[in-house]
């Protein structure tokens, strides 16, 4: 099983290029990030080339987080701002060879205007992504942590994918969020697998290292291997102490996934 370090939460004491190097030294197979825009794209690209790690994805800028923003793409009164941030994210991804852009929906009233706005902005993002061979991701996020988030379950995400019918558009399935909102992770992943572009993990309920809590990730990752999932698993958790002190789960998860692979 190939594992990715989410540098939005891991190695955050380091500048992004150094965090990429640290993730490689720790044994991760890839990296991903949240908002790298303050870091020179050339420095990120150089660190990726030096380590040989792919950068799987980044997020669109969420807006004014101090004012409660958590994304812009489903906000009908902020279309220009949302599209400018989509352009910035796609341009940064293209410049650094990052593979995917997660378009953050934001907090809404859940109404038809917000949904129409989100779909229109996703179409705009897909048009830009197509030019660069990028993937656009949408992520259902639990409403306990992010009250009012426009996209909070996989049924909604699937309806969007089916309606837009864009090959560039995939679901980012975060097991932490979906355990809180839905549960039944293995069955849901199996059903949605062709529509999933990336999977992330963290302990539930504390969002710490994926080695305790109510989800048995050693079992779940073995099931992913049995399903033939060939993508990366993103470690998007908040370390309970330091990143390095909490990495004991890495080798155990690799061994479990290998043990459960079907014989060919």
d(CA 57, CA 198) in angstroms, rounded, equals 9
Q: Which of 139, 158, 214, 230 is catalytic?
A: 139
The per-residue DSSP string of 140-191 comes to ---TTTSTTBS--SHHHHHHHHHHH--TTEEEEEEHHHHHHHT--HHHHHHH
d(CA 175, CA 202) in angstroms, rounded, equals 7
Check if 236 is active-site.
Answer: yes
The residues, any chain, with a CB within 8 Å of residue 187's CB and separated by 6 or more, are: none
Looking only at the bridges linking them, the beta strands covering 135-138 and 100-102 are parallel
Q: Which of 32, 85, 168, 236 is catalytic?
A: 236
d(CA 216, CA 194) in angstroms, rounded, equals 23
Whose CA is closest to 225, among 253, 205, 196?
253
Q: Beta partners for 170?
A: 137
Whose CA is closest to 137, among 201, 76, 89?
89
Distances (CA, A) of 37 to 25, 89, 187, 228: 24, 8, 37, 34
Please answer whether residues 7 and 33 qualify as being in contact, where contact means their C-beta atoms are separated by less than 8 angstroms: yes
Check if 139 is active-site.
Answer: yes
> Cα dihedral angle (73, 78, 83, 84), rounded to 10 degrees?
-130
Catalytic residues: 139, 236
């Amino acid at each position: 099983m190939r594992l990715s370090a989410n540098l939005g939460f891991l190695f955050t004491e380091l500048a992004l290029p150094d965090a990429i190097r640290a993730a490689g030294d720790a044994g991760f197979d890839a990296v991903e990030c949240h908002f790298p825009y303050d870091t020179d794209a050339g420095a990120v690209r150089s660190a990726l080339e030096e380590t040989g790690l792919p950068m799987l994805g980044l997020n669109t800028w969420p807006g004014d987080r101090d004012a409660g923003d958590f994304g812009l793409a489903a906000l009908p009164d902020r279309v220009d701002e949302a599209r400018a941030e989509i352009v910035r994210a796609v341009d940064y991804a293209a410049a650094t060879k990052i593979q995917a852009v997660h378009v953050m929906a934001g907090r809404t009233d859940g109404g038809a205007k917000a949904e129409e706005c989100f779909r229109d902005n996703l179409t705009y993002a897909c048009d830009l992504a197509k030019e660069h061979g990028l993937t656009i991701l949408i992520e259902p996020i639990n409403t306990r942590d992010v009250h009012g988030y426009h996209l909070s379950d996989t049924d909604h995400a699937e309806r969007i994918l089916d309606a837009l019918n864009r090959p560039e558009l995939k679901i980012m399935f975060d097991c932490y969020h979906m355990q809180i909102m839905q549960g039944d992770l293995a069955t849901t992943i199996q059903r949605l697998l062709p529509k999933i572009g990336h999977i992330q993990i963290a302990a539930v309920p504390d969002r710490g290292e994926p080695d305790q809590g109510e989800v048995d990730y050693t079992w779940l990752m073995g099931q992913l291997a049995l399903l033939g999932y060939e993508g990366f698993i993103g470690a998007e958790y908040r370390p309970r102490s330091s990143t390095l002190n909490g990495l004991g789960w890495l080798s155990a998860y690799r061994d479990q996934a290998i043990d459960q692979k079907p014989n060919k």
